[in-house]
Amino acid sequence: MKRLSAALAVAAVALAAGCGSGGGDGGGDAAPGQNGEPVKLRFLSLAWQKESIEANKQIVADWNTANPKIQVEYVQGSWDNVNDQLVTSFEAGDPPDVIHDDSPALSSFASRGFLLDLTGKVPAELKSDIPQAAWDTVTFSDGKSGQGVYGVPFLQESQVLIANKKLLDGAGVRVPTPESPWTWDEFADVAKKLTKKGAYGVAWPMKSPVNKVLNLALNFGGTFFDTQNGKTTVKVGPQEREVLQRIHDQLYTDKSADPSALGMGTADPLPGFFAGKYAIVPAGVYLRQQVAEQAPSGFEWVTLPPLKGQTSQQGAVSQTLSVAADSKHPDEALKFIAYFLNGPNQAKLAKGDWLLPTSTTAAKDPALTTKENGWDVATASAKDLVVAPFLKVNGFDEWKSKVATPAMQEYFADKISLDELANRLVEEGNKVLERYSR
């Protein structure tokens, strides 16, 4: 009998403990910044380059000293797992107040209602400092019938060419300028000229080919998606095929591009580039940072402006700051964003990440227009950035990872033909997109 009651007592305690821990927390620290206590904001930053992290932390520290009533906590995130981190914290209802991400990610979060619509809430000064083309990259459907602005765009990336100056001079090719860039035809010729025994004219790192191809496809007006009556379908016509075909030709017809670079990520060809194995590496402007830092002494490199097809237009996405819909202090969060992204601060951030600022005042900063490290060419390329058409496509992420990435990788590895690629992109792609229109 004694044993029975003892056992029951243990069980009761365990039960009580179990229940207690279940529903205990919750309403505790939700009180807003009344009674003189400062408002606390959490700012999830994805800065990863050393200079950039420093710039971010510095701006946050400046803000915290100037605004004792609104204290911002810097939270370090990572591009590698930001999606998982955000999905779980959104679903749990406890997201960071201010969220650093990029515009392709915003579209799906916006349509699920996780982000605050900033329409009419952005201070006029900030709004007018950023051109409409950049605002377009953060304007999405709200998942019902309306449109909203779901972030403030601040850093943009364009695709440029980074070239070995000695090899260019040695081959006697014309060095392009932002006013008269290389056309794709000229680029093909140059690459052939630069290809010698054991050295290739160009290395296309195509580990993640989709964004690269889609952004460049706009050179020839290729949009890859077609929206009619609210229904989006994939299209691969002659305009979309141009860039795909040209890169493929360099790899297998001209043999001026190294096929073994295909599996590489953007920065992986650099050792070969420094060793003179590749004369030109197409890359985002941010890669200049790694080139400048890692280049052996005496290595001369130049940044060449984007290529020209019918136009020099490229699809652009932006890095963004957004406010969580579940944030308890949205107004304070916006005030912080307006400060964080003002002209001088954007110039600092752009320098730290070697990217292009959206702010027009920041773009005039002398540090961003100097010849050194190709800043003049990089900053000039911003004028041709237009909103990437795929940004507005619901389900693009799944299309990209399930259909487009493997199909393009196989195409560039010469395992399937261009027709087959087009077929797969369209047919399998439309099936994927259908899931999202239900």
Partner 1 sequence: MTALAERPYGRAGGGSRRGPRSGSGFALLLPALVPVLVFSVGPLVYGILLAFTDARSGRNTETSFVGLENFAELLSDGDFWESFRIGMIWGLSVTVLQFLASLGLALLLNQDLRLRGVARVLAVVPWAMPPVVVGLMWRLVYHPDAGLLNGLFGSDVDWLHDFSLALPAVIVVGVWTGMPQTTVVLLAGLQNVPRELYEAVSVDGAGPWRRFWNVTLPQLRPVIVAITSLDFVWNINQFSLVYVLTQGGPGGRTRLPMLFAYEEAFRYGFFGYAATLGVAITIVVLVVLGLYLWRQAREGD
Phi then psi for residue 71, to 5 deg, are: -100, 130
Pairing label, strands 314-316, 385-387: parallel
Question: Of 324, 321, 323, which is closest to residue 94 (Cα–Cα)?
Answer: 324
Least distance to partner 1, CB of residue 303, Å? 24
Least distance to partner 1, CB of residue 9, Å? 9
> With the CA atoms of 128, 133, 134 and 139 taken in that order, what torsion angle do they form, in degrees rounded to the nearest 10?
100
DSSP conformation letters of 261-291: GTT--TTTTHHHHHTTSEEEEEEETTHHHHH
CB nearer to partner 1: pick between 111 and 156: 111
Q: Which of 185, 263, 367, 427 binds partner 1 (CB under 8 A)?
A: 263
**Binding of residue 112 to partner 1 (CB under 8 A):** yes
Rg (CA), the chain: 25
**Binding of residue 275 to partner 1 (CB under 8 A):** no
CB nearer to partner 1: pick between 85 and 361: 85
Q: At what angle do helices 238-252 and 184-194 cross, to 10 degrees?
A: 10
From the list 1-9, 158-166, 182-190, 418-426, the region that binds partner 1 by CB under 8 A is 1-9
Q: Which of residues 321-340 bind partner 1 (CB under 8 A)?
A: 325-326
**Binding of residue 113 to partner 1 (CB under 8 A):** yes
**Binding of residue 405 to partner 1 (CB under 8 A):** yes
Contact string (CB under 8 A) for partner 1, positions 357-396, x = contact: --------------------------------------x-
Distance separating alpha carbons of residues 305 and 333, to the nearest angstrom: 37
Q: How many Cβ atoms are within 10 Å of 367's Cβ, its own excluded? A: 13
Q: Which of 10, 61, 175, 418 binds partner 1 (CB under 8 A)?
A: 10
Q: Would you state the structure tokens that stand for residue 362, as one six-digit string?
A: 């920041």
Q: How far is CA 288 from the centre of its chain?
A: 16
Q: Which of residues 198-217 bind partner 1 (CB under 8 A)?
A: 207
Q: Which of 43, 90, 140, 354 binds partner 1 (CB under 8 A)?
A: 90
Query: Helix or strand or coil: residue 329?
Result: coil
**Binding of residue 18 to partner 1 (CB under 8 A):** yes
Q: Which of residues 56-85 bind partner 1 (CB under 8 A)?
A: 83-84
Q: Is the dihedral of CA 117, 120, 126, 129 positive or negative?
A: positive
Q: Which of 61, 175, 413, 418 binds partner 1 (CB under 8 A)?
A: 413
Q: Which of residues 281-320 bind partner 1 (CB under 8 A)?
A: none
> With the CA atoms of 178, 184, 185 and 189 taken in that order, what torsion angle do they form, in degrees rounded to the nearest 10?
80
Pairing label, strands 200-202, 159-164: unpaired
Helices (H), 36-78: 50-66
**Binding of residue 409 to partner 1 (CB under 8 A):** yes
Residues touching partner 1, count (CB under 8 A): 42
Residues of this chain that bind partner 1 (CB under 8 A): 3-4, 7-8, 10-11, 14-15, 18, 22, 83-84, 87-88, 90-91, 108, 111-114, 143, 207, 260, 263, 268, 271, 325-326, 395, 397-398, 401-402, 405-407, 409-410, 413, 415, 435
